[in-house]
A and B are shown apart, each in its own frame.
Chain A
Amino acid sequence: MSENDRPLRVMGTPDTLTDTIRERAENDLGFALHVEPLDGLALQQRTVMNPDSFDVLDHWSLSTELAWTARAIRPIDTGAIGAWRDVLRLDDTHDLLDHLKVGKGVSPREILFVQPDGLLGPEPTSEVAMMPTIYHFDSFGYSPSISVDLEHGEQESWGWMLDDRWRGRVALTAHPPIGIIEMALSAEAKGLMHFSDVGNLSIEEIDDLVALLIDYKRKRHFRAFWEAASHSVDLMQGGGVLIESMWPQAFQSLNDLGVPVRQAVPREGTRAWMDGLSVSSRCEGLQLERAYAFINWWLSGWPGAHVARFGVYTAAPNRLAQFLTDNEWLYWYGGEPASADIRDNFGKIVARPGEMRAGGSFIERMENVAVWNTFMDEYNYLIRRWHDFMEA
């Protein structure tokens, strides 16, 4: 196969490596993509151990730190990214980079820029380790049927995930960096534990939290632990689960299936995340040019509008004008009531006029972050204790 015919190998999160996105990219870019969906720990392991097995990596911002330390990825020259001036900027008064300071844990900004000493840091330079593409503010999902158990005026809270009222009807993500944050927020909200920094647990705090979770597990509090987001859909659809960890696409899927579900807006704030693209340290020549072309394509507008209809935000919102209607922009980004039907990418109606999405505008949601998805300092310890919990 000549170099020209070799597809660009993109490895990463299944959510953004869909057939629709791949086909559109191939069509727009004029070269083939070989996509390999892989998630969580499996993706992190492949990234650090086999950086020659991909050209472009579509991954969680927190993984950037691991990939960079293991020298699996190379710096991206922001000068070669056309949309760079629009990345995480809305207008002169809204530099979204500054908003990334809200919330505990390691915000994506803190590990975005390549600093002069070769480490990653928050000070802007001309090189980034990951080009941000999408981000969101997650919480948990619940069935509206639980309202019979709620007290009058009871506010949504992370504490619900460890609430005895729904023992045996709760599902949790099995991904350790995410699951631990959700459970820490929950234990704190329920008043079961207090953490000095919920975004960076100490050894003792990890031990205490894992002991608490094992206790809950033995009391059969958790109905299931899910790896793939599609599993969370099944659990809510007919798996007897009423409250669970949930990612944006799962809400969309349940909506398509006609299963009633609500995204909580917990009083404690949300668990925020960002995804982005990195380039393998082994990528060079034509493939490197194509990797840059692919990154530029991701920020060009269509992909951002496509993911917006899943309820996820793009890193370059200014590029959406010609791809989203005003109604769509105000509904998805503005958090305002729909003025006409809002449809998803498959034409299904997700909101009727007057309906609005939970959590307010994207700026308001940025201000309401409790914790960013983070590899905590003691992650090496945490991941092993998490396995103890999974195996208990």
Chain B
Amino acid sequence: MKRPIEHSSETTPAAPPPLYERVHNGLHRLIERQMLPIGFVLLEGPIADYFGVSRVPVRRALVELAQAGLIHKFRGRGYLVDPHGSKPAPLRIDFRSLGLPGSLANAWGSRRHYTWQRRYDDIAGDIARCLPFGTYRIRESGICERYNISRTVVREVLTRLMTRGLIDKDQRSHWICGPFTARSNDEQYGMRMILEPAALIEVVGRDHRLDFKAMLARLEQARRQSRPLSLKQIASFELDLHMALPDACTNARLRSAIVQNQLPLNINRTFYSHFGATHDEPLLDEHEHVLSALIAGQPEKAAAALADHLDAARQRSRARLKVLAVVAEPDLPEFLERVH
């Protein structure tokens, strides 16, 4: 008897996500990257125009964002952008006057999502976790099984991860990753010390939508708390300074070079996940120096402070990597096979 043919969706691009989800994701990222000012009043009409959809999906997206606490209803019409619950005064300005490039709506909101995109973050996360613990071979078939996706999709993801510098191919064309060494740490921080200050200068030299005061406020709020910083807080500081800021840079090659050299962030995450953070991490002071200089309109000083921060972070990350030497290898998915 012939076996039934499985019609999986893996080999063909997945059905695009519902419209409301695209709008939701787009708005979420605009808020996260502070491209929508705190207190900005969100109205259905202009958002629908921006994303090129009807008002119905916009309405649903707004309800969900409100449930997530990123925006709030207020006395007037629409919603206030208020991710920190600080109840800001309403800022009624025309959505179009924000000058958000239409490409963002396409990139974040409306582009069709392919299967590889849905698994990209999961697979990248699996791989990032193993990096400090040795050299691993990545088995395509293992990823297929774990995530129930086809080889084509797996190769798509892995090729993109290679472009990002997370994995590589050995001489026999096997996918491999790791080890993350003290040398890789120094090299990547060395690149970041050149690239990130350059991106900062480029960004602040022209019209941008970054809210440095809000970033500083987040730091100061963390400084006032007596409990240790949460991993989420640390991730949000990193997002502000090391992702949102370079992301606002118009030079795409510079942006991608920065992303390629940010692997050490994973080392710090692994370290914090084992040992926790204190309430007074040195990064608070160092980020504050950068942001204060930006707010004071001193980009050169900010760029120098950013380079100093990266140099100090380089040394911390190096010491943390040594500590991870005595930490047992975490439970890793089977598609990662330790070579040494």
Contacts and interface: CB of A to CB of B under 8 A. Distances in A.
Interface of A: 41, 44-45, 48-49, 65-66, 69-71, 117-119, 202-203, 375, 377-385, 388
B183 A380 contact: no
Contacts of B322: 65-66, 69, 375, 377, 379-380
Given A381-B179, A385-B340, 17 more contacts: A41-B326, A44-B326, A48-B326, A49-B274, A65-B319, A65-B322, A66-B322, A69-B320, A118-B282, A203-B181, A203-B183, A379-B322, A380-B132, A380-B182, A380-B321, A382-B325, A383-B326
A202 B184 CA distance: 12
Nearest to B318: A377
Interface residues of B, number: 24
B116 interface: no
B296 interface: no
B327 A48 contact: yes
Chain A binding site: helix, strand, loop or mixed by DSSP?
helix
B326 A45 contact: yes
Contacts, number: 63
B72 to A, nearest CB: 38
Contacts of A70: 275, 323
Nearest to B277: A71
Interface of B: 132-134, 179, 181-183, 274-275, 278, 282, 315, 318-328, 340
A49 B340 CA distance: 24
Nearest to A377: B182
A324 B246 CA distance: 66
A150 to B, nearest CB: 38
Contacts of A45: 326-328
Nearest to B133: A384
B278 A49 contact: no
Contacts of B328: 45
Nearest to B278: A71
Chain B binding site: helix, strand, loop or mixed by DSSP?
helix
A167 B219 CA distance: 62
A69 B326 contact: no
Contacts of A382: 325
Contacts of B278: 71
Nearest to A42: B326
22 contacts: A45-B327, A48-B275, A49-B327, A66-B323, A69-B319, A70-B275, A71-B278, A118-B282, A375-B322, A377-B183, A377-B318, A378-B182, A378-B183, A379-B322, A380-B179, A380-B322, A381-B179, A381-B181, A382-B325, A383-B326, A384-B340, A385-B340
Contacts of B340: 384-385, 388
Across chains A and B, which 8 residue pairs bring their CB atoms closest together, nearest first? A380-B325, A377-B182, A69-B319, A44-B326, A384-B134, A383-B325, A379-B325, A69-B323
B196 to A, nearest CB: 21
Given A118-B282, A380-B181, A381-B181, A375 B325 contact: yes
Contacts of B182: 377-378, 380-381
B127 to A, nearest CB: 17
A384 B134 CA distance: 7
Nearest to A207: B340
Nearest to A40: B326
A278 B70 CA distance: 47
Given A65-B319, A377-B318, A384 B326 contact: no
Given A118-B282, A202-B183, A203-B181, A380 B324 contact: yes
Contacts of A118: 282
Contacts of B181: 203, 378, 380-381
B308 to A, nearest CB: 12
Contacts of A65: 319, 322
Nearest to B185: A377
Contacts of B179: 380-381, 384
